[in-house]
Structure 1
């Protein structure tokens, strides 16, 4: 099939920042695109060939959208899988495959997948409803603290809460969920695995992630991770095992814990370009978005090595600010060496909403990390 400057059409479910960055690559290669999102102001709208308003969880919207595309991919997991399955039956190629997406979409199913396949992960208990947890605590089945996760529809730190006392449960939605044992970890790591339709597989370098303690969002992504080589090799091995069992196509971001005993545990995965790979736009030979396109089109995978050390800083809405966005002091960070801001195009800010990111590159990773701290302290995402 001819993809470039042709009638071939790539469909993307989701029109947020990940889709927008995928479109950088499709425009570079003149690949025709069709995007669906729930918002008329979605960042993807200005860069695709065709934009459709629709509900990603509605069967008819997803099915009708996908009928006239050649390959369909996602930028968010929360989509109607039944519609995707019907499209697959009608010979629309869907990547990641719906079998992979079904496993990942529900966090309880995802955790069971790890235990069934001998993949190391933290101990957990599955509940049909949050209200059942109190009985488990009373009967000695659970002990504080633990991590509560909604089985479905969690995203960008939503649907995750550390529960330290009984009162914390009262503020949680009464939904299907899991309770995970707290992991005493040294580092939170991630490995992005690329796998194309011809089963060629490559991994990006292990990255280290630093999280905001309240929002449960990544604040910094550091590449290369500041870990021993043996730990890095172990992380890659675990990520490759997850990839092999899932048989995904495209990118798979595998989030990991390095415990105090230097064990590697899988936290969770995302079958798409991921926040932990944004540094690759400036720092890698092949950025993650180009790699995803290569993979789903069955093209040879690109080189995943870094050309230079990279640190990514997330730009999120400041607390206490809701409304039309202002990027305060963006000119000041542009004066710093190796700094590239990415503004996602969301006009409205709110506390902790992802509004953009900044990449800092340097031959010296420690210098890049210092500049990243300056960036974080300088730029502010506020409202008018």
Structure 2
């Protein structure tokens, strides 16, 4: 079996590190010749996954085609499907999820809980919209990622920074915690749900700073979060692996923030902390194998390794010796040569018996381990 992945960043790299244990041929299509997957030279093709012809040519000798990034050429995937290739997740699913406006309509149509919203085409329409009130969240409908393309407008003075692009406008909701659920489904309709994790964000970068697994929530909330995630994947009606990002509100209700149709940053700890990782689940989905046991072996946390906010250049990692002196601590660097402000350069997973032990490790890592420019 030949499997093609559109995108060759860190998610593809971690997928490949697991996939080489299986008897399948893996290939990546990626425009950046120095991307994380470029280390797999015999499996790496430099090309634009947004370009129709490039995707078509890449997929011609593949049996199954999937993604590690949403913003790909969907029309080429539809044509490849017409030629008998398996596309996972479906092109229609990708069309839906890559547009945040369509995502919100999908929640509404399928009676899935989410915040109130409206859509606008440009800045002028937003400024004159009858439902405009402060504060609100502006999300670009397409192209946003890793905290980019999302901003909170708190008052009239902030209106000068409003983007002049098609956007989703959401009410600000009282968030107690941000949660995430990774869920997979194969072609046989079997699904598997990872435990709920809790994400703690860096408010300046709007990126996950660290996360805790399992989330510190009671069983009732955990079951609600899982039930919502199952309803999402049933409504999407396609094989794949998905991340459902959720808000736990102050009144203990749970609503959907966004969906990612792929493996996700919040699932990285599953490599060490779960019996079958999100990357193993992805491979099983693409090969239509039985889904793996995803039970948690031990409590865990993940700390994102982010480029220094004031430095850009050749990456240098400071404090590796201190880091690896910690027991049950696992470093994952993504092979990116250049560090930039806010760029994800890697992550660290720690395991422990309880939250106190894990938080102590997190604080140690954040104080000792850094990426700077040489």
Query: What's the TM-score, normalizing by structure 2?
Result: 0.98
> Residue 324 of structure 1: which of 311, 314, 317 is its match?
314
> Residue 90 of structure 1: which of 83, 90, 94 is its match?
83
- Distance, in Å, in 1 between the alignment partners of 2:7 and 2:174 is 35
Structure 2 residue ranges without an equivalent (≥5) = none
Secondary structure class of the residue paired with 1:21: helix
User: Does 2:268 match 1:275?
Assistant: no
Change (3 A) 1:48 1:116: farther
Residue 152 of structure 2 corresponds to 162
- Structure 1 outlier segments of 4+, above 4 Å: none
User: Does 2:326 match 1:336?
Assistant: yes
After TM superposition, give the deviation of residue 65 of structure 1 in Å: 1.0
- Distance, in Å, in 2 between the alignment partners of 1:130 and 1:300 is 48
- Distance, in Å, in 1 between the alignment partners of 2:257 and 2:244 is 8
After TM superposition, give the deviation of residue 26 of structure 1 in Å: 1.6
Secondary structure class of the residue paired with 1:170: helix
Between 350-359 and 59-68, report the one with greater CA deviation: 59-68
Residue 4 of structure 1 corresponds to none
- Distance, in Å, in 1 between the alignment partners of 2:274 and 2:343 is 26
Change (3 A) 1:48 1:195: farther
> Residue 105 of structure 1: which of 88, 98, 101 is its match?
98
Change (3 A) 1:167 1:63: farther
- Structure 1 contact 151–176 (Cα < 8 Å) conserved: yes
After TM superposition, give the deviation of residue 48 of structure 1 in Å: 5.7
User: Does 2:49 match 1:59?
Assistant: no
Between 352-361 and 163-172, report the one with greater CA deviation: 163-172
Residue 77 of structure 1 corresponds to 70
Secondary structure class of the residue paired with 1:28: coil
After TM superposition, give the deviation of residue 167 of structure 1 in Å: 4.2
Change (3 A) 1:167 1:90: farther
Matches within 5 A, 1:236-255: 236-255=226-245
Residue 137 of structure 2 corresponds to 147
- Distance, in Å, in 1 between the alignment partners of 2:41 and 2:98 is 26
User: Does 2:340 match 1:350?
Assistant: yes
- Distance, in Å, in 2 between the alignment partners of 1:346 and 1:10 is 24
Residue 118 of structure 2 corresponds to 125
- Structure 1 contact 33–49 (Cα < 8 Å) conserved: no
- Structure 1 contact 192–254 (Cα < 8 Å) conserved: yes
User: Does 2:208 match 1:215?
Assistant: no
Matches within 5 A, 1:249-264: 249-264=239-254
> Residue 49 of structure 1: which of 42, 54, 64 is its match?
42
Between 43-52 and 288-297, report the one with greater CA deviation: 43-52
Query: What's the TM-score, normalizing by structure 1?
Result: 0.95
User: Which whole-Å deviations, capped at 9, do the CAs of 1:138-166 have from their partners, x for residues lacking one?
Assistant: x4x12111111000011111101111133
- Structure 1 contact 35–48 (Cα < 8 Å) conserved: no
User: Which whole-Å deviations, capped at 9, do the CAs of 1:5-34 have from their partners, x for residues lacking one?
Assistant: xxx211010000000001012211142111
User: Does 2:170 match 1:180?
Assistant: yes
- Distance, in Å, in 2 between the alignment partners of 1:354 and 1:18 is 11
- Distance, in Å, in 2 between the alignment partners of 1:150 and 1:308 is 38
- Structure 1 contact 255–266 (Cα < 8 Å) conserved: yes
After TM superposition, give the deviation of residue 50 of structure 1 in Å: 2.6
> Residue 315 of structure 1: which of 299, 302, 305 is its match?
305
Structure 1 residue ranges without an equivalent (≥5) = 1-7
- Distance, in Å, in 2 between the alignment partners of 1:14 and 1:82 is 16
- Structure 1 contact 34–48 (Cα < 8 Å) conserved: no
- Distance, in Å, in 2 between the alignment partners of 1:37 and 1:198 is 30
- Structure 1 contact 224–365 (Cα < 8 Å) conserved: no
After TM superposition, give the deviation of residue 183 of structure 1 in Å: 1.2
User: Which whole-Å deviations, capped at 9, do the CAs of 1:299-330 have from their partners, x for residues lacking one?
Assistant: 00000111011100000101110010011112
- Structure 1 contact 33–48 (Cα < 8 Å) conserved: no
After TM superposition, give the deviation of residue 365 of structure 1 in Å: 3.0
Residue 357 of structure 2 corresponds to 367
